[in-house]
Amino acid sequence: MRNRNHILLCFLLLLATPLSSHAAGEFNAGDVIIGHVTDAHSWHLFDYVDRQGQEHAVAVPLPVILIHDGHLTCFSSSRFRHGHADYKGFRLVGGGIEKEEIVCVSADGRVRTDASGAVVKPLDLSVTKTSAAIMITVLFLVVIVFAVRHGYKKRGTAAPRGLQSLVEMLVVFVRDSIVRPMIGERHYERYLPYMLTLFFFIFLSNILGLIPFFPAGANITGNIAVTAILALITFFITNISGNKHYWVDIFNTPGVPAWLKIFPLMPVVELVGVFTKPIVLMVRLFANMTAGHIVILGFVVIIFILSNLFGTYVGGAVSVVSVLFSVFISLLECLVAYIQAFVFTMLSSLYIGMAVAEPQHSR
């Protein structure tokens, strides 16, 4: 029990470390929260204050890749010194509530604008925090797959153990409780590899996003670009796999009065539904995971807000309640991480199952 308490204390300290430096100076809760859930050109770890009272950020630099005026420029994000320095005619602006982006600057340090007054920006192909976290997640998945593969080669038909047992349980669950019932006995094996990849990627991304230290802690599925790509993949697979019966039901819906088909109200409604399905997938995953991170950070920043307003003792007293609520929400988010992976995979299987389903002939 004593060891468990030490582990919990370390976890809470790691959760609060990136925020702790704000307690001594001006504190903007919105900047802190949004800055933690949005993308960035470096992986921020924590801040510290030196003996002269100056605040310094410690972060993992990431590659910056820019194309401007036909020229490719590559350098480390550390050259920007966390937005305090220009490099090779570029400047990192934004952060916090504002979107972080790179703009072009002139030799005298002014932000460049075009004839219409718009800010000149390069084509940004940088490896950001989210894309780096995706690479780490994929690496974890590859390691897990090869570890399980080695376990099967070593044990053969013997009962699985450890990680192999957990992965096998999840694979069987996805196959027998999601993919097979939704897509059907005839077609499910064709789409099973994609569904397994989808489930494990989302689930692992959600879990790693809840661990508050590097190389975890990135809000991958809280980035709408990531969820949009996942939804688009499902959208293309669904409509490419759609059989004749699927398309006939869209443009000539059975059981609908003829005047609704001629109008044509029902074909328009059905066609709109084709495009709203991936939007539902995209928004549901993005909104649920982002909301969870914001709620957890909200409870933590309350400590520093009240410390600045009423003093350290009040902040310390409130910290007990805030930390308890943060731990509770974190445990709840572990369940949400699984539920969102399940729901996304289930709906994807359902959409594909509707596209490949054969018509029912009455006898």
Q: What is the mean pLDDT of residues 19-48?
A: 68
Residue 76 clears pLDDT 60, i.e. is over it: yes
Which of the four pLDDT bands, split at 50, 70 and 90, describes residue 17? very low
In the block, residue with structure tokens 């800010």: 119
d(CA 206, CA 49): 32
d(CA 68, CA 199): 38
Q: pLDDT for 133-149, tens place per residue?
A: 999 999 999 999 999 88
| Cβ neighbour number for residue 196 with a 10 Å cutoff | 19
The pLDDT score that the predictor gives to residue 361 is 53
The pLDDT score that the predictor gives to residue 25 is 47
Three-class secondary structure of residue 78 per DSSP: helix
Q: pLDDT for 143-168, tens place per residue?
A: 999 998 888 888 877 777 788 888 99
Q: pLDDT for 183-220, tens place per residue?
A: 988 888 999 999 999 999 999 999 998 887 788 888 89
Rg (CA), the chain: 25
Which of the four pLDDT bands, split at 50, 70 and 90, describes residue 29? low
- Torsion over CA of 224, 229, 231 and 232, rounded to 10 degrees? 140
Instruction: Choose among 205, 203, 230: nearest CA to 217.
Output: 205
- Torsion over CA of 144, 145, 150 and 152, rounded to 10 degrees? 110
Percentage, residues of the chain above pLDDT 70? 86
As a whole number, the mean pLDDT across the chain is 83
The pLDDT score that the predictor gives to residue 28 is 67
